[in-house]
Chains A and B, each alone.
Chain A
Amino acid sequence: MSEASDFEARLDTARRASARLREAIGEVLVGQDEVVSQVLWGLIAGGHVLLEGAPGLGKTLLVRTLASCLELRFSRIQFTPDLMPSDVTGTNVLVTAADGTRHFSLHKGPIFGQIVLADEINRATPKTQSALLEAMQEHACTIGGVRHAMEAPFFVLATENPIEMEGTYPLPEAQLDRFLLKVLVPSPTEDEMTRILARTTGRGMGDPPRVLARDEVLALQQACRDVSVAEPVMRYAARLVGASDPEAKSAPPLVRSAVRYGAGVRGAQSLVLAAKSVALLEGRANVAFADIQRVAKPVLRHRLIRSFEGEADGTTTDRVVDALVEAVPSRPEDVERAATR
């Protein structure tokens, strides 16, 4: 098989897998197509996703459904203020063997799952939240001085509730930065609500079908990495991230006024990775400017730290990202002028 047909086949597989996953999730979850897409981008890009939405919008259901559709080990951590780091990572416990000898044995915590649902992550203390840090970034966890690697794929889906902020611990910037995407879960429309009511107030539904095996997920992640990105597209991503710095010359006025800190290198990497997953799921072997623009909000919204003025004005980071996309040209000026004539 030639190179072209091999990669073409992988692209086709990805496209079909994506369709199957959507279909399977759609059997359980009503609506939320864009949320599902973004969660899939995170999965395929090998990143982690932070889901933010009001209670009852199906965040947990989405994660559980996704876990059911994939032949992956699922674990759930319900974050509470009294949750301890060892509750997340696990701990060594003293075990008495049959012959009466005693030794410490690792009792792995829920972090050792392949799809980890960190529910209401902002309810735990920062100390416990940070227990996730190493695992999310390094795909490994050190317990009792011993480093334990996570089994691939390792996909953390955290949820947080933007209301009921009393008694919560907002995630520190360093931890936020480790999430590839922050997905906002919108309220369902009237039609969707009607369908949800019809589906959930009757008899209980069965489990969704298994759609993708572990190896297939890993293959998808590998194919995502193989997607080509042209230098102008990477430059565009870099310019977007650069312009998010309020000190940058290219920063639009809204960034200057409403942003205290812009996105960093990890933000630019996330833009390209997420755009690659978009291209892959659409069956393309290359990334387009439009892909970057499409993933800009979920990638950048949690990486922009608003200034006091921005917060006071109620400027959302989504608005800032919109301003960035509008202000930063994707193509050189001459080309843009020639193309728009």
Chain B
Amino acid sequence: MAAGFEAKFAKAASRVRGALRLRSVLGGLALGLVVGAACSAGLWYAREGWLRPIAAGAGALLGAAIGAELGRRRRFSDEDVALYLDAKIGADERITTAVLVREGSDAGGDARAVVLDQAERALDAASPSVWRPRVASRLHALLPVGLAAAVAISLVPLPPAPPEPPPAPGTELMKAGEVPGLEKIEALAELEARDDAQKKRLKELADQARQLRERLRRGAPEREVRADLAKLADALAAERLSLGEGEERRGLEAALGQLGKHPSLERAQKALGDRDLTAFDEEMQRLANQTEKEAREQAKRALEEAAEAAEREGAKDVAKMLREQKKLIEQLEKRSQNLRELSKSLGEGLGQEGAKALAGMNETGDPESQRKLAEKLEQALSGMSEEQRKQLAENMKKQLQQQLAELEADPDAMPQDLEGLKELAEKLSTPEGMEELRKQLEEMAKKPPEGSEAERQRKLEEAERGLGEAQRGLGAMPMPMPGQQGGQGKQGGQGQQGGQGQQGGQGQQGGQGQQGGQGQQGGQGSGKDSPGGQGPGGPGGDSSPGANGKGPGEATQKLPGGELRAHAGTQLLPGGTMPGTSLGRTSARPGETANAQGMGALGAAGPGEVSGVNRSDVPEEYREQVGRYFEP
């Protein structure tokens, strides 16, 4: 009898528990779907289209899982099931009592058998439809609702982007369809970087420029645009000065120290110290063009020593750049030698200007003279008849034989010199070779070879000029940058608004460079890249106090700024120092600082003072100058 009740009760309990579990799962699923649909709606509002069905599905799954877990935790015990069945059937707790007095239990006494019998009869008498729990509940009505909502929200098109919030009162919007100049910053993304970190930084710069262009196309508050432009300017300047910065600073100092030991490399040292790699590159060209072989060899040795010193101090990038420059010198050396040999063979055919350029190149190693010489040689070769070409080739061969004879007599002669001569002679022996030579000369007349760092710096400077161009285009005053202001140096300088250099070039806003400060080591100007002026302009040397092209002793000009309320009319004393300033450079070691005029030993310096300018409040654009002022 007990077995009969046991089996029937077990079956009923299983059905009751299954139905309750299913109800719990379905309830969780319904709630989860609704929550998922709500999340989908949120994502729809946030315009995250593809996440919508995932959110709804995840909500449903999570809800079902929670429902299953709740169902497991709330699983009815036998006693609960019995109480439930008694309540549903109206069995007056017969089943509950029977469950508790089942076989194995001592409870029940004499009544046990009757209780079991009565309970079994009660179970038999009741139809399962009476006691089977209803799986469906009111909560389950949410199931189709949630499903429909989730599907609908997943399929409905995303809402249009909300209109931009109106600018704050007083905010001026700046809008520009085209912003010339920014493309030069965007081009930095394609620039070959020194390392991965720099590549990332360059890409970020390009991205910022692109985003700025986009924002300007849509219209953006003027203040934000100006702030972005200023940030870009800061970042570009920092990138331009990044070689030898930070951990490589000591290595750079060591390399500068090595270069400083050679008087002929003084200007190269200065250019490298200024992180003016274009000027450094030009100085290397000048050295390669020198006629004295010993001077060239000395320069190469100095570069190698500097590279080693930098490497010892951990400045790998600086060392790499120096070694690259050394190779460049070797290439240029060969090239200038070839030019000389060719000029020599041409003789009178070179013309007066060519001879002058040759003389200039031999005297100063000036790359411009070399360029001009190449141009003249190319012109000379272009106008040559077949007869003249043969004659020239003959001359070259004779020259080669003569050189070989000299080489036998002088074993110290450099073999590459002869190689170049031999190569020239061979080229000139055929019309095709001469054409090839002519093209090479034409190329040389256009652009001298340059190191990768120099090329990077040139591109960065181009980007800075592009930024200045963009700033002007947007009506902002560009921040002063090296090489932008007018002034005249001996060798000119690349100027954007530049004054007039030696080779001319009218700046837009600058004063006459000739009246500017007299620079000592200005860079080579080139009017091509200067949107502000037709010709090259450039900054004065580092001791040039003239701003806007005005030298000391003269009153500053009236500026056309409508907003300007006053201007300085103070007569500046030429060469005089301002109170509280110090002048001059003193020999010192890294870590020391100049704090007194004319003092040799600078005493101990706190560790915080080394490269302190980089951590100071001095604007990025001026740090280089300020740092240079205090550097040994």
Interface on A for B, CB 8 Å cutoff? 2-4, 6-8, 10-11, 226-233, 279, 284-291, 331-332, 334-336, 338-339, 341
Contacts and interface: CB of A to CB of B under 8 A. Distances in A.
A290 B92 contact: yes
Contacts of B1: 4
A332 B110 contact: no
B92 A286 contact: yes
B83 A286 contact: no
A3 B84 contact: no
A7 B113 contact: yes
A285 B118 contact: yes
A332 B101 CA distance: 20
A227 B107 CA distance: 11
A331 B92 contact: no
Closest 6 CB pairs of A and B: A4-B113, A288-B92, A286-B97, A339-B87, A285-B114, A285-B111
Interface string B90-115: 00111011111100000111111111
A10 B115 CA distance: 13
A6 B93 contact: no
A193 B111 CA distance: 42
B292 to A, nearest CB: 104
B178 interface: no
Contact of B118 (A226, A231, A286, A341): A286
A339 B96 contact: no
Contacts of B92: 279, 284, 286, 288, 290-291
A285 B111 CA distance: 6
Given A228-B107, A230-B97, A335-B80, A8 B114 contact: yes
B79 interface: yes
Given A233-B96, A284-B92, A290-B92, A335 B111 contact: no
A228 B101 contact: yes
A233 B93 contact: yes
B88 interface: yes
A18 to B, nearest CB: 17
A228 B80 contact: no
B84 A339 contact: yes
B447 to A, nearest CB: 88
A338 B96 contact: no
B79 A232 contact: yes
Nearest to A334: B74
Contacts of A231: 79, 100
A228, A289, A341: which has the most chain B beta carbons within 10 Å?
A228
B555 to A, nearest CB: 96
B8 interface: no
A332 B84 CA distance: 9
Given A4-B113, A232-B79, A331-B87, A338 B93 contact: no
A339 B130 CA distance: 11
Interface in B96-147: 96-101, 107-118, 133-134, 137
Interface residues on B, range: 35 or more
B93 A332 contact: no
A44 B613 CA distance: 107
A289 B94 CA distance: 11
Interface in B32-81: 74, 76, 79-80
A226 B96 contact: no
B252 interface: no
Given A286-B92, A286-B94, A331-B87, A341 B111 contact: no
Contact of A3 (B87, B98, B112): B112
Nearest to A288: B92
23 contacts: A3-B114, A4-B113, A7-B113, A11-B114, A226-B111, A227-B111, A228-B111, A230-B96, A230-B101, A231-B100, A285-B115, A286-B111, A287-B93, A287-B97, A288-B93, A288-B94, A289-B93, A290-B92, A334-B80, A335-B80, A336-B87, A338-B20, A341-B134
Contacts of B137: 341
A3 B117 CA distance: 11
Contacts of B133: 338, 341
Nearest to B88: A339
Contact of B84 (A4, A10, A335): A335
A333 to B, nearest CB: 10
Contacts of B88: 339
Contact of A230 (B20, B93, B113, B134): B93
Interface of B: 1, 20, 74, 76, 79-80, 83-84, 86-88, 92-94, 96-101, 107-118, 133-134, 137
A332 B82 CA distance: 12
A58 B270 CA distance: 132
Contact of A229 (B74, B84, B97, B112): B97
A230 B110 contact: no
Contacts of A2: 113
A336 B86 CA distance: 11
A332 B80 contact: yes
- The residue among B96, B98, B137 with the most chain A CB atoms within 10 A of its own CB is B96
Contacts of A11: 114
A3 B1 CA distance: 12
Contacts of B134: 341
Contact of A334 (B76, B101, B108): B76
Contacts of B107: 228
Nearest to B137: A341
B421 to A, nearest CB: 106
Given A334-B74, A335-B80, 14 more contacts: A3-B110, A11-B114, A228-B107, A284-B92, A285-B114, A286-B92, A286-B97, A286-B115, A288-B94, A331-B84, A332-B83, A334-B76, A335-B84, A338-B84
A232 B112 contact: no
Contacts of B84: 331, 335, 338-339
A78 B74 CA distance: 60
A10 B109 CA distance: 14
Nearest to A233: B93
A284 B118 contact: yes
A237 to B, nearest CB: 12
Contacts of B98: 286
Contacts of B101: 228, 230
B93 A3 contact: no
A6 B101 CA distance: 17
A228 B97 contact: yes
A335 B76 contact: yes
A3 B101 CA distance: 14
A188 to B, nearest CB: 31
Contacts of B110: 3, 6-7, 10, 226
A287 to B, nearest CB: 7
Contacts of A341: 133-134, 137
Contacts of A3: 110, 112-114
Nearest to A10: B110
A7 B110 CA distance: 6
Nearest to B133: A338
A4 B80 CA distance: 26
A15 to B, nearest CB: 13
Taking each of B20, B76, B83, B114, which has the highest tally of chain A beta carbons within 10 Å of its own beta carbon? B114
A194 to B, nearest CB: 36
B9 to A, nearest CB: 14
A7 B109 CA distance: 10
A6 B117 CA distance: 13
B590 to A, nearest CB: 81
Q: Which among A8, A284, A286, A288 has the greatest number of chain B C-beta atoms within 10 A?
A: A286
Contacts of A289: 93
B30 to A, nearest CB: 16
Contacts of B87: 331, 335-336, 339
Nearest to B131: A339
Contacts of B94: 284, 286, 288
Nearest to A222: B110
A266 B116 CA distance: 30
Contact of B93 (A7, A10, A226, A286): A286
A336 B87 CA distance: 8
